[in-house]
Chains A and B, each alone.
Chain A
Amino acid sequence: DQQVKQNSPSLSVQEGRISILNCDYTNSMFDYFLWYKKYPAEGPTFLISISSIKDKNEDGRFTVFLNKSAKHLSLHIVPSQPGDSAVYFCAASGLEGGSEKLVFGKGTKLTVNP
């Protein structure tokens, strides 16, 4: 049972345009969300996070939006650059049974074409 879903396995955009990566979650206990970026044969690197007390967090070209009522978050990259081509993982965190639980989505492969 997938608690964190990234329904698009891949996304292709032109350089300079906006990339929008989506993530849905099912468990209301999740209240902290993160995005990681992963290049082939490397470990994921942290990109940006958002707490459930906010609905938007921005860091340079990257903005994460959270819609708690829809249990949906999205990552916007503007403008997209070829170096952004990577797999992006959404992760959700929350307290379950007294301990912190972190669940990852399956990832979306972003390709930014020059």
Chain B
Amino acid sequence: DGGITQSPKYLFRKEGQNVTLSCEQNLNHDAMYWYRQDPGQGLRLIYYSQIVNDFQKGDIAEGYSVSREKKESFPLTVTSAQKNPTAFYLCASSAGSRTPLHFGNGTRLTVT
């Protein structure tokens, strides 16, 4: 059954710690994305990758880093430099331009 797996579903960290969110897809999609959702807000793009070993900053990349060493995997690291890291993080993939995004079920990160 093809899809996107994000783990864990809930994550708690202390302020000042880096944390990595996992995203794996078995849809054979080239493009992968990370979005952040805050209450009452739309989805804001953090980073995206259109091909292995290449990625681009989105609208709110500060305080985040990514890697794309494998087609299936696009982990997101939330660094201590991110001022407001508590949020719902969504990973997505797509088959290409003008095709709908497929989303994972998200990771809710709480930093205290």
Chain A residues with a Cβ under 8 A of chain B? 4, 9, 32, 34, 36, 41-46, 49, 89, 93, 99-100, 102-107
Contacts and interface: CB of A to CB of B under 8 A. Distances in A.
B101 A89 contact: no
Contacts of A9: 40
Interface-central residue, B92, B97, B101, B106, by most chain A CB under 10 Å: B101
A93 B33 CA distance: 15
A103 B43 CA distance: 8
Contacts of B44: 104
A43 B41 contact: no
**Interface size bracket, B side:** 20 to 34
Interface of B: 4, 6, 9, 40-45, 56, 90, 92, 97-98, 100-106, 108
A34 B100 contact: yes
Contacts of B6: 43
B100 A49 contact: yes
A103 B40 CA distance: 15
A32 to B, nearest CB: 6
Contacts of B92: 43
Contacts of A42: 105-106
Contacts of B4: 43
Contacts of A32: 98
Nearest to A39: B105
Contacts of A46: 100-102
Contact of A41 (B100, B101, B105): B105
B104 A104 contact: no
10 contacts: A34-B100, A36-B101, A44-B103, A45-B103, A99-B56, A100-B98, A104-B42, A106-B40, A106-B41, A107-B42
